[in-house]
């Protein structure tokens, strides 16, 4: 039992939930180490949405709202952490929700799809094919889903697929707390923020962006600037810790 007055209460409850989600077959064992890495970067960030992350979130919303065929790709960690947030973003953006896994089994796909449906998402499921140019199981997706997408939102991604999607000509919106990762560097827009903070911000922006702000965000996109700002925030906090 984690006492609610523990200073790291939220973090400990999330860890406990993820450990439970491994037992329920939603999160892979490897997903726990991925979460730990994310936590470390979030610590450097001060566990808050920075001004540059908010710009990235609103830019991601602008891409989703102008997309022809937007897809939100969901893995085990994303579903366990934010099934409801994903359903809300789908409602605001009209995007397709599709499960895509690195540690793929049909059983895990089914469990994650059910979790998303229980949270209110309309999941694009059915038989998948090996359509993406990748040697691992993230290659499996649906022809009318991710394969045909023009814009794909990829939370907690591994770099390979992000690069493959970009090479296929797609706009890739990544949510990744590590601004140095291959995903972060390859994506069209990188949101360096924690998933459960990022999703509601993107959803809100989908609802309140004006046409004028949308156009301005799309025109002024500079992902190198967004990544540099994230690194500056982190290194600034680290150097102030020595004062």
User: Quick check: 158 binds ligand PTJ (CB under 6 A)?
Assistant: yes
CB atoms within 10 A of CB 183: 22
80 within 8 A of 32, measured Cβ to Cβ: no
User: Quick check: 50 binds ligand PTJ (CB under 6 A)?
Assistant: no
| Window of 15-23, 47-55, 70-78, 211-219 that interacts with ligand PTJ by CB under 6 A | 70-78
Residues 27-46 as x/- pattern, contact with ligand PTJ by CB under 6 A? -x-xx--xx-xx--x-----
164 within 8 A of 152, measured Cβ to Cβ: no
| Window of 139-147, 175-183, 211-219, 229-237 that interacts with ligand PTJ by CB under 6 A | 175-183
Q: How many Cα atoms are found within 13 Å in the side-chain-facing hemisphere of 65?
A: 23
CA 99 vs. chain centroid, Å, equals 12
User: Quick check: 156 binds ligand PTJ (CB under 6 A)?
Assistant: yes
Gap between the terminal Cα atoms of the chain = 36
In angstroms, give the least distance from the CB of 243 to ligand PTJ: 27
**Residue choice 176, 179, 203, 217 for contact with ligand PTJ (CB under 6 A):** 176
Smaller CB distance to ligand PTJ: residue 17 or 167? 17
Residue 155 pairs in a beta bridge with 175
**Residue choice 62, 81, 149, 199 for contact with ligand PTJ (CB under 6 A):** 81
Residue 210 contacts by C-beta under 8 Å, 6 or more apart in sequence? none
Residue 191 pairs in a beta bridge with 175
Residue 233 contacts by C-beta under 8 Å, 6 or more apart in sequence? 45, 46, 50, 52
In angstroms, give the least distance from the CB of 164 to ligand PTJ: 14
User: Quick check: 101 binds ligand PTJ (CB under 6 A)?
Assistant: yes
For ligand PTJ, the binding residues (CB under 6 A) are: 28, 30-31, 34-35, 37-38, 41, 75-77, 81, 101-103, 156-158, 175-178, 181, 194-195
């Amino acid at each position: 039992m984690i006492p609610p007055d523990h200073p790291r209460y939220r973090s400990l409850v999330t860890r406990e939930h993820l450990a439970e989600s491994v037992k329920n077959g939603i999160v892979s064992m490897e997903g726990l180490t991925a979460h730990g890495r994310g936590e470390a970067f979030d610590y450097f960030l001060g566990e808050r949405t920075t001004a540059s992350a908010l710009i990235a979130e609103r830019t991601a919303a602008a891409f989703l709202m102008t997309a022809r065929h937007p897809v939100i790709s969901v893995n085990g960690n994303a579903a366990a952490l934010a099934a409801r947030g994903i359903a809300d973003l789908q409602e605001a953006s009209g995007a397709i929700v599709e499960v895509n896994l690195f540690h793929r089994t049909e059983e895990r796909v089914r469990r994650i799809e059910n979790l998303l449906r229980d949270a209110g998402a309309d999941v694009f499921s059915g038989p998948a094919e090996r359509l993406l140019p990748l040697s691992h199981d993230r290659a499996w997706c649906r022809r009318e889903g991710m394969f045909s997408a023009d814009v794909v939102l990829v939370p907690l991604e591994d770099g390979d697929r992000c690069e493959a999607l970009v090479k296929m000509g797609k706009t890739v919106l990544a949510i990744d707390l590590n601004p140095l990762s291959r995903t972060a560097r390859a994506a069209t827009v990188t949101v360096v923020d924690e998933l459960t903070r990022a999703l509601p911000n993107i959803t809100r922006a989908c609802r309140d962006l004006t046409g004028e702000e949308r156009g301005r965000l799309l025109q002024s996109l500079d992902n190198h600037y967004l990544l540099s700002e994230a690194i500056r925030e982190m290194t600034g906090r680290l150097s102030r810790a020595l004062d």
